[in-house]
Each structure stands twice: as C-alpha cells, then as structure tokens.
Structure 1
Amino acid sequence: MAETPLVLVSNRGPVTFEPDGGIRRGTGGLVTALIGLASHREVTWIASAMTEEDVRAADEHDGRPFPVQAPGGDEYNVKLVASDPEAYDRFYNIIANPMLWFIQHYLWDLSNAPDIRRNETEAFEFGYNAVNEDLARAVLEEIDDVENPVVMVHDYHLYTLPGLIRHARPDAFLHHFVHIPWSQSDFWRVLPTMIREEIYRGILSNDIIGFHTRSYRRNFLQCCEDLLGLKVDTERGVVFFEDREVWVRAYPLPIDPHAVEEVASRPGTARFEDELLRRRRDHLILRVDRADLSKNVLRGFSAFDVFLDQHPEFREKVTFIAQLMPSRTDIPEYAEYLERIEAVVAVVNHRHGSPDWMPIQLKLRDDLEEA
C-alpha cells in the first residue's frame, strides 16, 4: 500500500485561483491538515472547482491533473472538477451547509428548524448527490488503471461518494476522515429516513472511517446501531455492514508543523508581529477564527464585556484583537451571524471605549501571514 499512488478527494482543494491570476492556499482546517501529506508522497488531490477562476483552470487542463505551486513553495498534483453551478449551490448552501454542519454541531433549534420540504429533498438528490457523483467519476478516471487503489475521502461534503466508488471498484481501499463532530443519534432523526440512510450507507462503504475523538467514534457506532439496526462491536470499533467489517477509528489529525514554521518565518509575518506588539497595551487577548456559528464568537465578546464591567481597573490596559474570516456568507444564517458579531463589537466599544482606546479591534479578513 505504501507504494500505491494515493488519491485524496475533498470539496475544497489545496489552492484557489484568483481573478488577478494569482494562487492562494485554500482556506479551512481540512486544507491545513492535509497539505503535509499531499506534499510528502505521490498524491493526486481531486477537489471541486469552487470559483470561476478554478473552473477556468479545470477547463484549461481538460479535467486532467496538473501540478500547482502554492505560496510557500509546495507543489501539488491537483484535479479540479467543475459541477453544474445550480447543483453546486444546492450541494453547498442547502445540504452541506447549513443542514449537515448544523446537525453535526448541534446548532439547530429543534423547536423551529430545520424545516425540510421539497426544496431540501430535491437539493439532496440534484445537488448533494450530483456533486458527489461528479467527484466520484473523477476519482474513477484517476484509478482506472491502478490495481487495488487507495482513496482517502474527506469530510461531510462527500458522504455518498464512497458508495459510488465501492460499487464500481470493489477492490479499492477507501478511507474516510470526518473533520467535524459526529452528533448523537437523536439529532440525525431530524433528517428524512431516505436521506439519512443514504448518507449512512455511503459512508459505511469505506474500509476505515476516522474521527478526531473517541466520543465522535462512540456516537457514530451508536448511530449505526440505533438508526440502521446494524450489528456493532463497540470494543473493537467495528460496524458489520453488508458482507464487510468497517473499522471505525479515533485519531486526531495533526497539522504540519514545518508548514506553520515556514509561514512564521516569512517577512510579511514579521511585519504583522511588529504591528501587533506596537498596538498592544499591558495585556493582549488575541483570537483568530472563522466567523462561524460553531466558534462561539458572540459569547466570547459578551464575556469580555462582562469582564470589563466587573474589572474596570483593566480599562485602557487590555486590548482584544479578533481576526475573523467571513465564512459562507451566501447562507442567511451565516450572514446574520456576522452582522450580530459586528453589532456586539460596536456595543462593547461604545460602552467601554475612550477616544484613545478601542477595547475590541475587529478585523474581517483572511490573511494567513497575519493569522
């Protein structure tokens, strides 16, 4: 297996092409986790073409893999897949986010949401499944002449893809790592049975399913037992599905420390560090995150508000710098959350600030060197 070329498949690839012809590293924790693996062995990374420039790059290479050098010098072999824009919008903005993301992070207020109607069921069939089928075809093309291929599937965007690969290539070794929590079985019951079972049958087509923590692993095993009535060996971490044993494992996926050190050593990073030190007072609170509902950003700012109320002696002695990357702003819940963040920051700064001191300095941008 060590000598077999590896195929990675995820929604987001290692790089994003920009309108000015530049290339920047893909955002998100998944990319951060995988760039080390992708740069240290023979890998083809298959991903969705997420921007118009990505689609153009895919067309220029006729859908074939091509080498890309990312900022920092790493080179990847990338294959970008362009799906129908309407299908991709349904896939990403209705099913993957917010539906699956909210289920797996316990974010739904179940007394009011989700409200699953024809729009959502059609989005699953003609959006989520359609994009999974597009990426599955790209994987099958890539492994067509490879004996016993190894395919690593990543995250909640691609739960139905492994079933398509398993059906076409029973000899493939399929590994699926889920980068987010796996919620308990009752939370999955909000999905229509058809959608829920299709998701579970898809992910159970893998040979190994990986999670970050033992509790996520335990939840998944319990879901297989509760929702599908499958036989589960909890001690061994095995689900018996059809005629196979599916191994369910917990192993936190690390970052690449060398990549972090490389970014830290750049001149641009040093300039941001100098600016940060220049702006700090006696105390500094620093936060770098996506502006995501699961990151608990609002309550963090509210807690700082309470702190300043209860400890006025720290006024003008502490600064809270928050760099937040706007995320999924096409989704109403995310756009509203970002507005609420800005509103809370304005209130805290108005209540506690002075002409010479702004308690919270909010930066809404995505800059790896600054982060």
Structure 2
Amino acid sequence: MHGRITPMTLEKAPLYAFGADRPDEAENLIFVTNRGPIEHTFAPDGTFHASRGAGGVVSGLLWAADDRPISWISLAMTDADRALAEQLGDGTIAAPAGMTQLTSRLVSVPADMYQRYYDGFSNRVLWFAHHGMLRSDAVTAESHLDWAYGYYPVNEAVARAVVEELHTSGEMTPVMFQDYHLYLAPKMVRELEPNACLLHFIHVPWPSLKDWSSVPIDYVYAIYRGLVANDVIGFQTERDADRFLDGARRFLPGATILRKPDEIFFRGQRTQVRVYPIAITPGAVYESARSAEAQGQAGRILRGLGVGRRRKLVLRVDRLEPTKNIVRGFQAYERLLEDHPDLKEKVTFLALLVPSREGLEEYQEYAEQVRGAIDHVNRRFGTKGWQPIEAIFGNDHPRALACMEHYDVLLVNPLADGMNLVVKEGGLLNRRDGAIVLSISTGAYEQLHDGVLGIDPQDVDATSAALHRALTMHVGARAELASHVRSVLLQDDAGRWLSRQYDDLFHYTASRRRQRVPKLISFPTHQRSIQKHESYRPAKTEPLADRSQIPASVDLPSSIFSDMADSDDYGLGS
C-alpha cells in the first residue's frame, strides 16, 4: 500500500495578449455559461446573499482562470438572481463574493422562458440526444414551444450581452462559450461582431448521426450553423470530434471539411475542430479532500460501515440521473453477491448520490428506480449487522473526495459521459491502491484504459465479473494499475487545459487581429479535399425528422427559422 502522493507543481502557461503579437501580459477573457460563478439567495432581511456556484463546469473554470481577469456572462437562474440583475440594470457585478479578478454579468430572462430553455429543450431534448438516450417520441409539440419561446430567445439574450461586453472590453477579447445550452449564440454574436474571437468547448459527448435522428432536422441545422460561427470548437475526445465532422458533412451542405488538421470552411468562416480533454487540478483536489470537516465526515461514515481490514469498500459518486446507469451498477453488485456468497458481510457498497434536475419527471422516475434497487438488494442480502448498500443523498463534494481516499473498488459505469471527473478525482486521491471499474463509454477511458478495468456499461454480467476481479486482485497488480492512473493524472491540470484552448484561439485568429476587417476566407478546392482525405467516408446515416413533424396547432414565431436551413440550401419546402 502506498501513502499519499504529493502533487506535482504545475505552473500555468502564460496567456497571450490578444492585442499584441507576443505573450507579454495577462489577457482579459469572457466566459459564457448557463450557470454562473455566483449564486444569489435572499437573506432573511431581504438583502442578497452571494456564494460561489456549485456546478462542476463552474468550479473547473474558476480554478483554471485563477488570477486572470475574467468577465463572466451567465443566466440569472433564481428569483434572487433576476431581482439583482434588474436592480443593477445591466446585471454587472464587480468582484462578487470577494473574487477581485472577476466581473459577473447576469442575463435576466423571464422565469417561464428560462424554464423552457433549461428544463424543456436543453435537458429534455439535447442532454438525452448527447447521451444516446433520446426516444423517438421524445420531441413533442411542447418541445417545439420550448425551442421557440425558450432556447432560441435565451440564446439571443446571451448573444446581446456578449456583444455589449465586447463593446466594453474590446472586439478582440477572446470569448469562450461552454457546453450545450448555448449552441446558437456564437452565430448571433458573429453577425454583429465579425472580428470576434470565439471558442466553444463542449463538455458532453457529441451525438452520432443516429442519435440526432429523433431531433427535428431544422434544429440540428441551426445547432451546426451556430457552432461553426466559432473560430475553434473544442471536444473532450477524438471520437467526439470525429462524430461532429461526420455530422458536418450531413448538416452543413456546401461546407468543405478537411482532416488532420480538422477544419471546416463554411460561408466564409474557417473553424478549427480540436480536442482538449478536461483535467482536474491536483493541488485543489487534495486541498478540498483534506479539509478537517471533510475528513471528519468521511471517517464517521466509514467507521460506521466497518470499512477496513475486515470489510472492503465499493464506492460510487454520481448525480442521480439516468445517464449515470446507477441501477445497473446495483444489479451487477447483486449478481456479485449471488454468485460469490463468500463475499457477504465482507464488502459494502457506499453510494454517494447527488439529487439532480428534480423538477423533471424523467429524473423523478429514475430516482425512484434507484431507491427501489437499493431496497431490493438490502432486503435480499442484508443481515442484522450488515447492510450491503449504504446510500447517502446530498451534495457534499469535499466529503465525497475524502471518501475516495479509502475505496477498494471505484465503480464508474455511465452509459455515456463526455469525460467523467469522478474517476480522475478518485484515481488521484485513493490511498489504498484501489481498482477502478470504468465504462468504456466515458471520455476518461481514452486516457486511463491501461490502468482500469474497462466494461460495457450495459452488460450487467461483465460489470459483476469486473467487480469480483477488482476485489480479489493481487495487491501488486492493483498497485501497478493505480500507479499508472496517478502518473497520467499528474501530468495535467485545469489551468493548462484552458491555456491550450487560449493558445489555439490566439494563433488561429492572428491574421484577423492584424487586419481588423471582415475577410472572406478562400475555400480549399473540393478536389484538394478529396485528394487529401480520399480514404475518409462518412458514416451511414439514419432518416431524420423534418419540419413537417411540427404539428400545425403549434404556434411558432417565424423568426426562429431565420437561422435555420434555407430551402435553397437544404432542399426543404417552406
């Protein structure tokens, strides 16, 4: 068994100043996200209370940015957010919650519009499409209203805020959009600010052509056209980038697509497609896990479970939502106890589960399924002194990190995941040379495959077998796997992840910064594209839905189709 690994000191790479030709000073950045760095609530006396945002994307960006000056544009999510934004006029807050290098700008939209945008289209449609779980009947008449009166106008509001911020900070200030909530905004910004330097990083896995088949085709066209207005699009893995480029051949008629380096030329815009696997920051993770409060809570939980020499620990840490595949994980554990009765009372499964999107019916139903699976296993195998599964519901990230130090097996089996930071945090923190059972459908598997036990997340028997192998593996073999995982994770951090994106954006927009005028980029010839990539063939496609699927009873404003497919481009009737 190894003691705690001391994290390497990783210095942040310098950021080039976009107004200069050399990296001589820190540059202001504009982050654009759904959830902001600050969450506001009403204090008992009616005043506003500010605290740091809790989202994983937010936490990663905050650390990555560190002391760099940031203008952060995000949506007002709560009643307190909206009230404060309206009170401030432009929604701008300097140095919120004591973060002196940060300026927060809240974009306020009506609560019902935000709900349609966030719960309705972003999470009921896009989230499930990105994870390969969107049913063929999932897009309803209500979904079209969610697009028209939620997703589209919210993206417009965010784009206006970005343009206003560029007028203040300078048109060449780099803008970094994040994730699936804001796919339309880059094109809206580009139309008003042709010289803007735009990058969009997508944290979730990119859908295959088949996964897009349940989304109306006009919406997919609009999403692709919104994204290729960026100078750089970043993905977690090569698989995601390849899928995006496959889709570009289908959804961007007339585009020229080159490979290695991956580029798209569409209507005068050149877009680079790049891969930036998101990283954790070792120092920040250690600091959070080793806090006195986190250690105290974890110690009490583990002592209560009898974890130690007489009982091994299987651990999972997840948001309580369908893509995390929690129920199958418990079914695999049930199969393990069934096939290996000698393990009864010698292993405990601790599940730290974070409630998520509780307002959505799909999530409520899945939470009930998870609780039912836990009760079933405990009733079937539990004894007076031993409960096979111990589930703790709540959001306490430091406590979860502290528990990760002590697992014998970490189970991470999502159906799909852009990266999955739990496996990275666990692999870095664990002090028992614990083994990791990891879904091959996660982005993290591409980086860590030589140090984990890979599984098909839908195969319960294979998952059960991997759990058994992990629990019974020789200590030397476990140590070798754990050492490999740590060595990979200690080579990177969130600051370098951000700097790589910044560096690419700086270089890809160099000519525009010098000229400061709109310039039509010459398209590579079609013949050159064929010659350079003659071995490339697009994947076989599935039929897609079209505008005719929208019921006539759904009243949609005609303006929402202005950024979608023109009939001349796409062969669609009006």
Identify the residue that residue 123 of structure 1 maps to in structure 2: 146
Conserved? CA contact 1:323–1:365, under 8 Å: yes
Are 1:309 and 2:338 an aligned pair? yes
| Cα distance between partner residues in 2 of 1:181 and 1:47 | 22
| Cα distance between partner residues in 1 of 2:84 and 2:293 | 28
| Cα distance between partner residues in 2 of 1:84 and 1:65 | 20
| Cα distance between partner residues in 2 of 1:57 and 1:324 | 32
| Cα distance between partner residues in 2 of 1:91 and 1:147 | 28
Are 1:17 and 2:40 an aligned pair? yes
| Cα distance between partner residues in 1 of 2:205 and 2:292 | 36
* Alignment of structure 1 residues 96-111 onto 2, 5 Å: 96-110=122-136
Structure 1, residues 170-229: CA drift from partner, whole Å, max 9, x if none?
111000000000011232132222211111111111000000000000000110002223
Secondary structure of the residue aligned to 2:117 is helix
Conserved? CA contact 1:217–1:250, under 8 Å: yes
Identify the residue that residue 69 of structure 1 maps to in structure 2: 97
Are 1:360 and 2:383 an aligned pair? no
| Cα distance between partner residues in 1 of 2:267 and 2:224 | 12
* Aligned AA (2:256): K
Identify the residue that residue 348 of structure 2 maps to in structure 1: 319
* Aligned AA (1:274): G
| Cα distance between partner residues in 2 of 1:284 and 1:154 | 36
Deviation of the 1:60 alpha carbon: 4.3
1:52 corresponds, among 73, 79, 85, to: 79
Aligned Cα root-mean-square deviation (Å): 1.9
Identify the residue that residue 106 of structure 2 maps to in structure 1: 80
* Aligned AA (1:91): Y
Identify the residue that residue 213 of structure 2 maps to in structure 1: 189
Deviation of the 1:92 alpha carbon: 0.9
Identify the residue that residue 254 of structure 1 maps to in structure 2: 279
The change in CA–CA distance for 1:79 and 1:152 in structure 2 (over 3 A counts) is: same
More strand by share: 1
Identify the residue that residue 134 of structure 1 maps to in structure 2: 157
Identify the residue that residue 227 of structure 2 maps to in structure 1: 203
Secondary structure of the residue aligned to 1:69 is helix
Conserved? CA contact 1:39–1:74, under 8 Å: no
Deviation of the 1:12 alpha carbon: 0.8
Are 1:245 and 2:270 an aligned pair? yes
* Aligned AA (1:66): A
Deviation of the 1:75 alpha carbon: 6.5
Secondary structure of the residue aligned to 2:385 is coil
Report which of the two structures shows the higher radius of gyration computed on alpha carbons.
2
Secondary structure of the residue aligned to 2:207 is coil
Structure 1 alignment gaps of length 5 or more: none
Tell me the TM-score normalised to structure 2 length. 0.61
236-245 or 55-64: bigger deviation: 55-64
Q: Which runs of 4+ in 1 moved over 4 A?
A: 19-24
Deviation of the 1:265 alpha carbon: 3.1
- Equivalences, count: 366
1:226 corresponds, among 239, 242, 250, to: 250
| Cα distance between partner residues in 1 of 2:221 and 2:318 | 33
Tell me the TM-score normalised to structure 1 length. 0.93
Structure 2 alignment gaps of length 5 or more: 1-15, 18-25, 401-574
Conserved? CA contact 1:272–1:369, under 8 Å: no
Deviation of the 1:313 alpha carbon: 1.4
* Aligned AA (1:297): I
Identify the residue that residue 7 of structure 1 maps to in structure 2: 30
Structure 1, residues 302-321: CA drift from partner, whole Å, max 9, x if none?
11111111111111121111
> How many percent identity over aligned positions?
36
